[in-house]
Every structure is written in C-alpha cells, then in structure tokens.
Amino acid sequence: MGHDDGRASGRWFHAGPQRPDATVRLYLFPHAGGSAASYARWASLLPHDVEVRTTQLPGRQERRSETAFTRLDPLIEALYDEVEDDWDGRPFAFFGHSMGALLSYRLTLAMEAEGGPSPALLAVSGWAGVAHHPTDVPIADMSDEEFTGEVEQFGGLPPEVLDDPEMRALVLPALRADFQVLNDYRHDAAPVRCPLVAYCGLSDPLLAGDAMATWSSLSPAFVGLTRFPGSHFYIYQHASAIAADLGRHLRASAAKS
C-alpha cells in the first residue's frame, strides 16, 4: 500500500524454524498488550509443513522504544506493507486472538481489496465484531487504576502478567495503546472472500450468547467454529488442540491456492 509513517522499521515478525519446503506460511497476531512471545510454543505445535511468523508490534519487548499505534487504519496499512514485503510466493494464512483477530480480519479485507496476494485462510479467536463495544471514556484520559479496571471488564490481563508488578509496568503502555486501537473500530460486517475458521473459550466474558457464530456470515467458505473449555485466554491451555485443528485447515486451504 506504500504507507510510510516514518517509524523505525524494527522487526515486525519473529521467524520460527526455516522450513523452505513448507506449503504455507502462518502469521500469528497477538492479543491486546501481547507480543510475539504470546506464541512462543506455536512453531513446535504446528505441523512441519507450516512455517511460522509471529507478529511483534511496536511498543513492546525489543521494540519498546518505538511508539505504539493508537489508530487502527495506520496499523493495518503498516502490517499490509510488512506482510507484502515478507511474502515469498507461497500461500499464507493469518491467525489472531482477541485484538489479533480484529487485526487479521481487517488486514485480510485490505489485502483482498487491493487484488494482490491475500490469505488462503483467516483464523480468528476470542473476538467477534458484533460483540465489540468501544469504551465510553477515552483510554488516554484514564488513570492506570481506571484503565486496569476497564481491562478487567474485557477479560483481564493474561496469566503471565497477573501476578508480576514489573511485568504489568512493562505491559500497560502497549496495552493502553492497543485499547485505543480497539476503540477506533466500528463494526461494518464486511465479508472476506477466503475460507474462515473460528475458535473461542466457552466462558469468554467478551462473547455473550452466540457471538462467535456470527463469523459464519462473513465468509462464503466458513469452515467451522470450535469452542474449548475456558475463558478469554483459553488459548494458553488449549494451544496444542488449536494448532492441530488449524494445521488441518491450513493444509486444505494451501492445497486449493
């Protein structure tokens, strides 16, 4: 898309084991406040014919000195350029959890609209547009205490930071920026053209009713919704099962590309 916002380029994707014979490359997008480390185990869980890229957004870990995005469209434009630059001609797919699902969904729409390379499969987890409710109070105006309370309503902090004050101090700035990105979105129910598969936790407080099932109307090739025991961060307990199911769908989608 040719977008250039003048930021340090950083390193947008952490590469898993190089697998030149892999039939598909999978880009993983983290939850709000998350980093590439959220998917540290996934390369070893996915089949060997899948090559993994984990997304590292500005404002976290080794990119902490870079300014985090607070608007959705500029972030999607930057991701578009980075995926396009990284593309090696093989089929690729997206998986995102929570905010990562929003990013992978809107990135898929952007790539399909441009008519160039686009995902062979979109996999979404723990987020649905119909259940997306931006906060009324501007995130930038909240104190840390107010913001932490807001986060609790949205499923709380992930387990690796809950009991670690130092980790919370590192995570909160990026998390605050990510919530501004989330607040910037208004759902328009735009459909993607590629196959779509969905996953969620059975007791996710963000997905009341049958919200995740509405993904079935956003792709002409919806291939199913799988629910697992657990809450918003169910993916930590069920990463192996998700990866196994996802690997099956990746093979089928790559074969049709």
Q: Is the CB of residue 238 less than 8 Å from the CB of residue 41?
A: no
- CA 113, CA 188: separation in Å to the nearest integer? 15
pLDDT mean over 93-100: 97
- Residues 64, 86, 41: CA angle, nearest 5 degrees: 60
Backbone angles phi, psi at 224, to 5 degrees: 130, 160
Please, which residues have CB within 8 angstroms of residue 140's CB and are 6 or more apart in sequence?
Answer: 70, 176, 180
Do the domain assignments include residue 8? no
The single-letter DSSP state of residue 116 is S
Helix (H) or strand (E) holding 145: helix 144-153
pLDDT at position 7 is 41
pLDDT mean over 11-16: 93
Domain range for 133 is 13-252
| β pairing state of 13-15 and 50-55 | antiparallel
- CA 141, CA 129: separation in Å to the nearest integer? 25
CATH number at residue 118: 3.40.50.1820
pLDDT at position 5 is 41
Would you place residue 167 in the very low, low, confident or very high pLDDT band (cuts 50, 70, 90)? confident
DSSP letters of 58-72?
TTSGGGTTSPPP-SH
Domain count within the chain: 1
pLDDT at position 178 is 93
- Residues 20-71: pLDDT tens digits? 899 999 999 999 988 999 999 999 999 999 999 999 999 999 999 999 999 9
Three-state DSSP class for residue 24? strand
Look-up: residue for tokens 């509405």? 214
Q: Is the CB of residue 233 less than 8 Å from the CB of residue 199?
A: no
The CA-atom distances, in angstroms, between 140 and each of 63, 146, 175, 184 are: 21, 11, 11, 13
Please tell me the pTM assigned to this model.
0.91
Do the domain assignments include residue 4? no
Residue 148 neighbours by CB distance under 10 Å = 16
Q: Is the CB of residue 99 less than 8 Å from the CB of residue 32?
A: yes
- CA 25, CA 120: separation in Å to the nearest integer? 10
pLDDT at position 157 is 67
Do the domain assignments include residue 74? yes
Give residue 241's Cα distance to chain centre.
Answer: 18
Do the domain assignments include residue 7? no
The single-letter DSSP state of residue 203 is T
